[in-house]
Structure 1
Amino acid sequence: MTRLFAFVAAATVVWLAIVPQVEPQPTTITAAIGSNMNHVPSFVGVEKGIFLKHGVDVKLKILNTGQEMSKALQAGEAQVIGAAFSNFPLAVERGMAAKGVVGSMGDRTTMHSDEPVSVWTRKGSGITTLEDLAGKRVGTPVGGTADEYLGAALKKKGIARERVTLLNVMPGNSVSTLQGGSVDAVAVWEPYGSLVGAKVPDAQLVSRGGGYVGYYINISFRNDLIEKDPQLVERFVLAFAEASQYTRQHLDEGAEIATRWIPGLDLPVARTAIRNLTFDPRITRHTIAAWEENVRTLIDQKKLRAALPWQQGMEPRFIERVVKERPELFSDLKPVP
């Protein structure tokens, strides 16, 4: 009998050795993200195979604004979106059921991180400071982060928002609109600020950053997916943290990858733009404070009806676990004070 058992065991080992093991198929998800440099870690994660390594096949749906991303998620065209605090609370108030699980862009060691936002004009416009925008026409994606930035900056300078005429100009049209003279200035995020600086003759920088708003973008999952498949979310968050670190450590390669996803973006501009961005996947107490301040700003600007607790817009447990278990993925970031 002992010999029989030994024979069966040996046969089983041989069988396992010759029968190919079937690898589990990666889970496919669609992520709606912006056509801008804020999402370079997503581009990198796809092109370098980092998501696939963790069993997630990410399909990217590239859109122009956070509002478009929110609509794509609500329409069932995406399960994941990357949207900024300037518009994400509005979508949640209107019924979007999603929460941020990992950071994409923004310095998470402070509640004010707005270096990617800039205001540009042309020499001879009479505009040299933010105060000079009073009575002028400014092109910006209305309802986006640059719009919120303008409102907060003008308020701090004592200029009523109503004294500036805002025209809805999509980021990709910033160069032609400013160059054509239909606006006196534009307010945009990267890479479009750097693109204006490089492509518009006599372009002049009026303002960049300044700590007026907390410009943060989180990658958010639908609530039902967080509840039904938390392991998928965990794998995605780990992969995203890896992609973010790879991007930070290979800025020029990240810039080159971005040129393949953002129409009209050439490499010199991308290399300039990427250095105005911080790719920090952590969700910290500063991130939470920035959410709360953004909500107050949106209420003040009469865009949001009522206060929205941060718990309705973020679920930090996944990234907190990655930070604890894989500290090496964050070793090149500033410590959180």
Structure 2
Amino acid sequence: MSLSYLYTPDFLSQTLTVISVIALPIHILGAYCILMKTPKIMNSVKWIMLNLHFWSVMLDWGITFFTKPFVLFPAMGGVALGVLSDLGVGTGEQIYLVVTLFCIVCAAIVSIFENRYYLSFGQNSCWRHYRIPCMLFNYFLAFLIFLPAYLNAPDQATGLQKLHDNLPELPERIRRMPIYVIAIDFSLVVGPVVLMGVLIIAEALAFVVLIFLGASKALRERTVSINCVIIQKKFLRALYIQILMILLNMGVPLCYLGVAVPLHYYNQAANNIIFIIYSLHGVSSTIVMIWLHKPYRAVIQNFFRRSHARRLSNVGTDHRKSMFEGKTATNMPSTVNIRIQYNVNILNVVV
């Protein structure tokens, strides 16, 4: 593969298509495990985990299939290469969709930590009066936070002229594409995303601290058993790793964006690669979820055990069949000889 291919929209589009095909069965398996294999002891987190899984899948498919954003960072513009463009949906609407899905995933992450805190230690606290309005506020904010940037998109002729002035090295092939400029001032785009990220991280850390303090207090006062605390810690450890995978896949592109935009650094191959990394967050978090939670991991292990047993059974059947056929083939010549000799004797008698 030529290095120059990494700079092309074809590389991005084809790679995202491959990811979407690979991701589909993994996402379905993840949903199946949550719905059908979550043990009763984990029923309290079943639907909240499904909520995070659903929005992660929607964000994955929003990037890999529906929009396929070919971005031109450090400029706040790009081209949508996905199915929605073929259906006539505007590029501005597609940008708003992807950013909003990102913010909803962030809100869903906080909901999981809040759910753990509330069920473990917050049911008798004042938090029970505020939890639903606060969680609804996060989702409400997710839909609204990028709306100002979307509604204040510049005149496209002016925006394109500014983009071409800022990126004189832009290849002619890309210049001829239907580029959409969402903003001339990058703070209108980056600002809402950073604000949402900081808010969500602060809320998640607050709930983690509250869970830790609640567990410590419960152990001191002996209101819960050590076994319950151990189970809680195991679940939270698996949850932390799963969330960490999501944040890494999201954080790496955001860190690059935080460097490339202020420094006006343009590298289209890097732009393509960071969106490919970003699109892997749902697949990686689903794989980690299945592997870390024992009931879900057992589904995969049992599947491979049955497949292995079935192969061994087929091999044994084929071996017995081949032995039987070998014995039959060995006995055939003597039978034929007897019949030939018998027929010859009859002929001799007749003659």
**Same fold, TM-score > 0.5, yes or no:** no
- Greater share of residues in strand: 1
Shorter-chain TM-score: which interval? under 0.3
Structure with the higher helix share, 1 or 2: 2
Query: Scaled by the length of structure 1, what TM-score is found?
Result: 0.20
Which protein has the larger Cα radius of gyration, Structure 1 or Structure 2? 2
Give the alignment's TM-score, normalised by structure 2: 0.19
